[in-house]
């Protein structure tokens, strides 16, 4: 039975997607409420309530797979676009910190999956994406990524990036890789960012291959509760009338067409901010194609709501907890939080279960089935390589840093010869720190000699 470790575990959607043929050895999340949901569904033994920055490398057991759905807020359209300058966006490097230690200990996973929003691929002209790819290749992995949309499995539009990294000593079947990108799994944005990767990273890039998912034939109408259930809370008519005055333009035309359909139409409505000559106003977008928009962690006026349209009659309400679970592909026996706000947060941050199952069945499990079982040394063997010339960096630009401070930043990546990376990992291990922290300690020394303040670290508290 393959084993896995689950970072940023949330309510355990990755665990559900991997299925009962996988064994979880360790999981963590910093949210007490999400950890409570995880324990309610899987028991208390594997999940640990802890900020990833406070997880010790010694606590991570050897496993076949590491799964890391690192926070998306700083890379999503719903966030401020801070990327790695944001406190949450930078947490991806906590995974590479733990991976550095696992390499030294000889417990580096065969596979590593990093999941995030598609905006991560294009952030800062692909520089954030390139930094993570470089870190994984330097750690001794071959890399690739796919774009997977929940609408191929359920009636929810929810596209996500899946980075799949494979340890160098693991065989990679030609049946699982393609010579060229596939329009289904590799978007134009991903191809553009891949074309900008450093040469030594490009050599270890793979276009992962998977079959097309079958047509599921489900619509939003198949996901909703019976409208007469007593616990459903519909908006009062006056509130609906006021809300509909802010449905304008193409959305108003879409609503009018649904009214004239001659049959009931199940739709969704979501708030959006719009700048006008009169300032920032809130309008509402309407979706009538039988697909829900991406579920988000929104619980106020801009959240996604269900809309039933039957002629001139329009009814609106919040999606129920049961409906949220169905749209995420959660099994009927999964115990969602009883409170609506907590359920919205858990599902909005979660993974769509059948998406993970498809990835596991058609890529992760075949990769592990072909894994090279030869004995390994304590360190992952690094391929020899020439020194990498520094790429031309994009022009600096102002980025809003935490606390509202404006600072001019440029994405910068340090490259080591593979044999140097091994040596430096060893020195850092002797010092009892990660390679990342060792570099910061060195920077502190340079700054001190110049009479400057040391590098500011993020606090481990939130």
The strand pairing partners of 65, in sequence order, are: 4, 111
Residue 24 phi/psi, 5-degree rounding, is -80, 130
Tens-binned pLDDT, residue by residue, of the chain (462 aa): 999 999 999 999 999 999 999 999 999 999 999 999 999 999 999 999 999 999 999 999 999 999 999 875 555 555 555 555 555 557 788 898 899 999 999 999 999 999 999 989 988 888 889 989 999 999 999 999 999 999 999 999 999 999 999 999 898 888 999 999 999 999 999 999 999 999 989 999 999 999 999 999 999 999 999 999 999 999 999 999 999 999 999 999 999 999 999 999 999 999 876 655 555 667 899 999 999 999 998 777 678 999 999 999 999 999 999 999 999 999 999 999 999 999 999 999 999 999 999 999 999 999 999 874 444 433 333 333 333 333 333 444 443 433 333 333 333 445 455 556 657 766 765 665 666 667 778 887 788 777 888 877 543 333
Report the chain's mean pLDDT, rounded to a whole number.
84
Q: What is the pLDDT of residue 72?
A: 54
Residues 280 and 273: beta-carbon distance below 8 Å: yes
The strand pairing partners of 3, in sequence order, are: 23
Identify the DSSP state of 318: E
Residue 297 is among the residues annotated as catalytic for this protein: no
CB atoms within 10 A of CB 284: 23
Q: What is the pLDDT of residue 91?
A: 77
Considering the candidates 13, 24, 72, 294, report the single residue annotated as catalytic. Answer: 72
Q: What is the CA radius of gyration of the chain?
A: 24
Give pairs for 84-88: CB < 8 Å, separation 24+.
84/128, 84/131, 84/411, 85/399, 85/400, 85/401, 85/402, 85/407, 85/409, 86/402, 87/402, 87/458
Distance, in Å, from the CA atom of 422 to the CA atom of 425, rounded to the nearest integer, reads 5
Listing DSSP states for 162-173 in one string gives EEEEEETTS---
In Å, what is the CA distance from 251 to each residue of 41, 267, 317, 322, 445?
40, 12, 18, 27, 58
- Which residue segments constitute the domains of the chain, with CATH numbers given? 3-215+352-387 (3.40.50.150), 226-319 (no CATH)
Query: Each residue of 383-407: pLDDT tens digit?
Result: 333 333 333 334 444 434 333 333 3
How big is the CA angle at 407 (ends 404 and 413), to the nearest 5 degrees? 125
Query: Each residue of 49-81: pLDDT tens digit?
Result: 999 999 999 999 999 999 999 875 555 555 555
Distance, in Å, from the CA atom of 226 to the CA atom of 264, rounded to the nearest integer, reads 13
């Amino acid at each position: 039975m393959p084993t896995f470790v689950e970072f940023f575990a949330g309510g355990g959607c990755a665990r559900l997607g991997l299925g009962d043929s996988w064994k979880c050895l360790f999981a963590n999340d910093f949210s007490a409420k999400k950890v409570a949901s995880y324990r309610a569904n899987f028991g208390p033994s594997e999940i640990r309530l802890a900020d990833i920055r406070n997880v010790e490398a010694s606590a991570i057991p050897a496993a076949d797979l590491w799964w890391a759905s690192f926070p998306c807020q700083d890379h999503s359209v719903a966030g401020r676009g801070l990327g790695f300058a944001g406190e949450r966006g930078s947490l991806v490097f906590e995974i590479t910190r733990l991976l550095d230690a696992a390499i030294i200990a000889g417990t580096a996973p065969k596979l590593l999956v990093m999941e995030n929003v598609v905006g991560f691929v294009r952030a800062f002209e692909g520089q954030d994406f390139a930094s993570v790819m470089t870190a994984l290749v330097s750690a001794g992995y071959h890399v690739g990524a796919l774009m997977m949309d929940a609408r191929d499995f359920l009636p929810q539009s929810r596209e996500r990036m899946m980075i799949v990294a494979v340890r160098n000593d693991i065989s990679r079947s030609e049946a699982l890789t393609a010579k060229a990108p596939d329009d289904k799994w590799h978007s134009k944005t991903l191809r553009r960012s891949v074309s900008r990767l450093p040469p030594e990273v490009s050599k270890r890039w793979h276009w992962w291959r998977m079959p097309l998912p079958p047509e599921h034939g489900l619509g939003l109408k198949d996901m909703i509760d019976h409208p007469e259930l007593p616990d459903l809370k519909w908006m009062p008519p006056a509130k609906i009338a006021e809300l509909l005055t802010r449905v304008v333009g193409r959305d108003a035309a879409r609503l009018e067409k649904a009214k004239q359909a001659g049959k009931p139409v199940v739709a969704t409505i979501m708030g959006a901010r719009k700048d006008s000559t009169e300032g920032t106003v809130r309008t509402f977008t309407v979706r009538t194609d039988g697909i829900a928009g991406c579920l988000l962690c929104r619980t106020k006026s801009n959240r996604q709501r269900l809309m039933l349209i039957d002629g001139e009659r329009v009814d609106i309400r919040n999606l129920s907890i049961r409906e949220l679970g169905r749209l995420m592909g959660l099994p009927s026996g999964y115990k969602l939080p009883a409170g609506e706000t907590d359920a919205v947060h858990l599902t909005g941050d979660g993974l769509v279960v059948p998406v993970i199952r498809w990835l596991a069945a058609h890529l992760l499990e075949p990769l592990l089935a072909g894994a090279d079982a030869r004995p390994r040394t304590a360190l992952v063997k690094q391929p020899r390589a020439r020194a990498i010339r520094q790429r031309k960096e994009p022009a600096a630009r102002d980025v809003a840093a935490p606390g509202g401070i404006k600072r001019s930043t440029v994405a910068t990546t340090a490259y080591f010869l593979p044999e140097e990376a091994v040596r430096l990992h060893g020195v850092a291990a002797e010092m009892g720190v990660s390679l990342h922290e060792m570099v910061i300690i060195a920077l502190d020394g340079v700054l001190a000699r110049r009479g400057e303040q040391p590098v500011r670290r993020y606090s481990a508290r939130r």
